[in-house]
Amino acid sequence: MPSARIDLLLVLLGSAAVIGGALLFQYVGGLAPCELCLLERWPYYIGMPLAVLVILAGGQRNLLIGGSALVMLLFLAGSGLAFYHVGVEQHWFAGPTACTGGSTGAKSLEDLRAQLMATKPVRCDEPQWTLFGVSLAGFNLLASLVLMVLAILALRDARGRRTA
């Protein structure tokens, strides 16, 4: 397997680990994602199938180059979004005004009203969880940067390779 495809395989595995962790925090840990958290998942959702397609395409040099470049751009955008989220948490930037919420399961209008009144919106500017002072948005920034570097390595390897 050419080294560019190995780099993309690492991007795929890293992306799956990040999304798996986010879903575990959400569904097992009970941490509801804010609007920015949900947006930050999109580069992973798009990058994983893209990496699979490029890996399975074999040694087509142009596809390796184009796919690696797209993955790099995805995680560059993901890094920017994660940096923005960290900045919102640190109050460097103003955050979005919209909030997110799941299905209510209300059976009547009165049930829905009661649930809405009891529900506290998930705020983007208040980290729900930190480890050593780093929030999940901070860890996502680190992960996005690492995956972007792996995609850059894949791009470099694909461009330097004459045959795959």
* CATH code for the domain of 134: 1.20.1550
User: What are the pLDDT digits (tens) for 125-151?
Assistant: 777 877 898 888 889 999 999 999 999
Distances (CA, A) of 63 to 42, 51, 117: 22, 11, 52
User: What are the pLDDT digits (tens) for 84-108?
Assistant: 999 988 889 887 765 444 455 667 7
At residue 158 the predicted structure's pLDDT band, cuts being 50, 70 and 90, is confident
Q: What was the pLDDT predicted at 163?
A: 42
User: What are the pLDDT digits (tens) for 50-60?
Assistant: 999 988 887 68
- Specify the higher pLDDT residue, 81 or 116: 81
What is the domain range of residue 112? 3-160
Query: Do residues 7 and 151 lie in contact, with contact meaning Cβ atoms separated by under 8 Å?
Result: yes
Average pLDDT, the chain: 84
Distances (CA, A) of 19 to 13, 45, 63: 10, 8, 25
| Tally of structural domains, the chain | 1
- Specify the higher pLDDT residue, 131 or 161: 131
Here the tokens at position 130 are: 């930190």
Q: What was the pLDDT predicted at 26?
A: 92
Q: What is the mean pLDDT of residues 62-71?
A: 89
Residue 138 CA to its chain's centroid (Å): 12
Q: What was the pLDDT predicted at 9?
A: 93
